[in-house]
Homo-oligomer: A and B are copies of this chain.
Amino acid sequence: MVELAVLGVLREGDLHGYELRKRVRELLGPGSSVSFGSLYPALARLERQGLVREVEPDESGPVPIPMTGSLSGELAAFRARARRRPRTPRGARTRKVFGLTSAGEARLGELVAEPGEDDRTFAVKLALCRWCDPATRLALFERRRAALAGQLAAARSSAAGTGGALDRYRRSLFEREADVTERDIAWLDGLIAAEQVTDPRTPEPSTTGGPSS
A residues whose Cβ falls under 8 Å from a Cβ of B: 26, 29-31, 118-119, 123, 126-127, 129-130, 151, 154-155, 158, 167-170, 172-173, 176-177, 179-180, 183-184, 187, 190-191, 194
Task: Determine the residue in chain B with the shortest Cβ distance to A125.
Answer: B169
Can you offer 27 A-B residue contacts whose CB atoms are under 8 A?
A: A26-B158, A29-B155, A30-B151, A30-B154, A30-B155, A31-B118, A31-B151, A123-B173, A126-B169, A126-B170, A126-B172, A126-B173, A127-B169, A127-B170, A127-B173, A130-B167, A130-B170, A168-B194, A169-B191, A172-B187, A172-B190, A172-B191, A176-B184, A176-B187, A179-B183, A180-B180, A180-B183
Task: Determine the residue in chain B with the shortest Cβ distance to A167.
Answer: B130
Distance in angstroms from A102 CB to nearest chain B CB is: 22
**Which listed residue (B26, B119, B187) contacts A31, Cβ 8 A?**
B119
Task: Determine the residue in chain B with the shortest Cβ distance to A179.
Answer: B183
Distance in angstroms from A62 CB to nearest chain B CB is: 13
Cβ–Cβ < 8 Å partners of A167 in chain B? 130
Cα-based distance from A61 to B48 in the complex (angstroms): 59
Cβ–Cβ < 8 Å partners of A170 in chain B? 126-127, 130
Distance in angstroms from A197 CB to nearest chain B CB is: 12
Task: Determine the residue in chain B with the shortest Cβ distance to A124.
Answer: B173
Cβ–Cβ < 8 Å partners of A155 in chain B? 29-30
Cα-based distance from A31 to B30 in the complex (angstroms): 21
Cβ–Cβ < 8 Å partners of A126 in chain B? 169-170, 172-173
Cα-based distance from A133 to B158 in the complex (angstroms): 28
**Which listed residue (B177, B183, B187, B190) contacts A29, Cβ 8 A?**
B177
Cα-based distance from A190 to B177 in the complex (angstroms): 15
Distance in angstroms from A82 CB to nearest chain B CB is: 29
Cα-based distance from A64 to B170 in the complex (angstroms): 21
Cβ–Cβ < 8 Å partners of A190 in chain B? 172
Cβ–Cβ < 8 Å partners of A119 in chain B? 31
